[in-house]
Structures are given as C-alpha cells and as structure tokens.
Structure 1
Amino acid sequence: MTTAAEEIRIGQLVIRFLLEGKASGGSVAVFEFEVPAGAKVPIAHSHDAYEETIYGIEGLLTWTVDGRRITIGPGEVLCIPRGAVHHFENPHDACAKMLGIITPGILGPDYFREAAAVVDAAHGGPPDAAAIGAVMRRHGLTPAP
C-alpha cells in the first residue's frame, strides 16, 4: 500500500501519484489530477510504450484523441491506446478531477516534476517549447507536430 503524499503543480494542473510503477513491480502507475476551469494542457502528444486510461471523478474534461473530441465526466472512462495523439482541456465552468492509469507503469512523478520546472521557469509565460519537448521525449512521450 502507498499513500498520496507529494502534490506536483504544473502551472494550474495539480497531480498526486497514488501508486508509482516501482511499487507495483512496473505493472501499473496511478495518479489523480485536477484541471481548473478554463485550462488547456498538455501539449498534444502520443506514447508508444504504454496505454493511458482516464476515469472521471468530478467535473468535466474534454479530450481530443486522434482528432476526435470526447468529454469525460464522473464515472466515465476513456482508454487512450498506444500511439494515439491526445491532449485535454477544461472549457467548462468547474474544476475537473480525474484518475489516470498507466499500463505498464513506466511513467512516474519524475516526468511531471521536470515538466513543472520548465513551466515554472517561464514565470507565467509560455514554456520553452524545445525544453518541454526534450522532457517529454526523455520520458517516452512524443510531442505532436
């Protein structure tokens, strides 16, 4: 059993890892994330080494997966297959809270910490695209063209 301790902030996005891959023998990683109303994050990307499943807890979050827009709410599930280009935004009036499940559990909090450092260095402006792209690639994400 693990407990959610660290809160990672990337701009307005808040992430809490509930289970890291190393605690599950690499089989799964689970994190909770909150996206405030009006936020659009992250850069459209794909990943070939793992699937991502999203479960809605509170509010609504609108995803674009391979060009198709999908809104996820409480109790709804979205499965993002390997290689699918995706991103999300919250154009709705309330904060959204979702659960992210990564299988196998190879993406962990280090990616989010490094991304946060790049975003924080921009001091509220747009983050350095080359730097954020390098962080993404280092952790197995491919920024969309």
Structure 2
Amino acid sequence: MAELIRMGGLELRFLQEGSGTGGGLDLFEMQVAPQARMPVPHYHESWDETVFGLEGAVTFRVEGQDRPVGPGESLFIRRGQVHGFRNEGPGPARCLCILTPGVLGPGYFREIAGLLAATPPDPAALRAVMLRHGLVPVPEG
C-alpha cells in the first residue's frame, strides 16, 4: 500500500523508497494544489530528481529559470541545482518525482508535515530538518 503524506498544499503518495529498491530510487506522486508552491528554494546534496508531468502543470524554477512541466513532459534537476516549484493553474497539478539514488525516503516528508501542522511553523526547525536530510535551503533574493 502506498503511503500518503499531506502537508500544506502538497500531497505525496510514496510508491517506492530506497529501503525497498536497494538504494536505487525513491518514487512518489506529488499533487500540488492550485496556487500552492514550495516555500523554500533548495538544492539536494546527494541525489538527482526527475519529474514527469501527469496532470495540470507544475512550474519549476531551476537556477533562476521557469520550466513548466505538463502532462507527458519531463524535467531533470541535477544535484546542486537550486530549485522550487509552484502551481499557477486553477486546478490541482500532478507529477511523478524520481529521486536517484533513493536516499531521502518518506521520513523527511513526515517530519516536515508534523512541523507544518504547528501554527505558525518554526522556520529554524524546518531548516534543521531540511539540512539533516540533505536538502539545503537557499534564501530567495
């Protein structure tokens, strides 16, 4: 059974994780609510990310350039590339996210979801969880 994790305007359904793929990959479906976005641009230290569009369009901002990913389109984000994403559309957008190698897993997202449930969320705690899991937040500017 796939694990479902909800946090803010994001919903992730984990389909595969590194612990079950010999560290080969993490695979999850991500649904982004209308007008939702990843609040903190970041980069990954230890994995690459490939995104495949399923429904609607998720706009990824990679190294300062907007790259919309719609149904049937894909985007490769190399480790170290600063990125974030948003859904500017009127309806939900869905994509598959493939992380290689599979070193992140759902634990990171569970922790972030727990922190986001607090009102207001603690930015220092969010940053600490990101760093501990290999995501490096980068201030917008």
Deviates more, 1:6-15 or 1:99-108: 6-15
Cα deviations by residue, 1:83-134 (Å, 9 ceiling, x for unpaired)? 0000000111110011000000001100000000110012xx4x22111100
Where 2:38 maps in the other structure, the secondary structure is strand
Where 2:125 maps in the other structure, the secondary structure is helix
Distance 1:79 1:34 in 2: 18
Moved over 6 A (4+): none
Q: What's the offset of the Cα at 1:42?
A: 3.9
Counterpart in the other structure of 2:66: 69
| Identity fraction in percent | 49
Q: What's the offset of the Cα at 1:136?
A: 0.3
What is the TM-score normalised by the length of structure 2? 0.95
One-letter code aligned to 1:100 = C
One-letter code aligned to 1:77 = S
Counterpart in the other structure of 1:138: 132
Structure 2: stretches of 5+ with no match in the other structure: none
Matches within 5 A, 1:81-120: 81-120=78-117
Distance 1:77 1:91 in 2: 18
